[in-house]
Structure formats: structure tokens, C-alpha cells
Amino acid sequence: DNVTDVYRGCNVDYSGKIVTAKLFLSVITGDTSGVPTNGKVLKSGPNDRVFINFVDHGGVGIVAFPNGPLLHAKDLSTALKTMQKKNMFK
């Protein structure tokens, strides 16, 4: 098959069964307790601009992940407020 490898040149930190809403929220809020040992989290500060692009076929108020429960808008909003309280972006 002549299929383009969309991951060529990318360093993928998380893939497969580990990818869940809980992991995503831990990563964006810098919560190392919610990721595997030595897992990467966002370590941004008050002078950084953070852009999160998440593409999903979900529905209104939800984001679907390959594994685990859906991410609801309320939980994403809470995570973004946590990031703001922690001065993780401008």
C-alpha cells in the first residue's frame, strides 16, 4: 500500500492503550503523578504561549479518546483553569 506515514519524524510521547482523557489532563496541567514514571508533562511558565490543538469526531461538550471514558467540557475547563492558576501560560 502507498500510505503516508504521518508519524515520520515525530517523537511520540504517548500512544496506544495508555492514551486516555485522564492522561491528557495530567499532561496539560503538569501533573507528574498522573503519568507513567519519567513521563512527560507540560512544564510551561507565565511567559509561554500554549496552543492545544485536539481534533476529534466527538459530539457537543465531549472529546473522545481511544481508551477510557470521554473527556467532558467541564473537566477540560477545570484543567485550563488549573493551568491558569499555576501560571502555565500568558
pTM given for the model: 0.88
DSSP letter, residue 65: -
Query: Cell 495530567 belongs to which residue?
Result: 26
Low-confidence ranges of the chain (pLDDT < 50): none
Burial, 23: exposed, middle or buried (Cβ in 10 Å; 0-12, 13-18, 19+)?
A: buried
C-alpha cell at 86: 499555576
Paired residues of 63 in beta bridges: 71
Please tell me the predicted confidence (pLDDT) of residue 54.
82
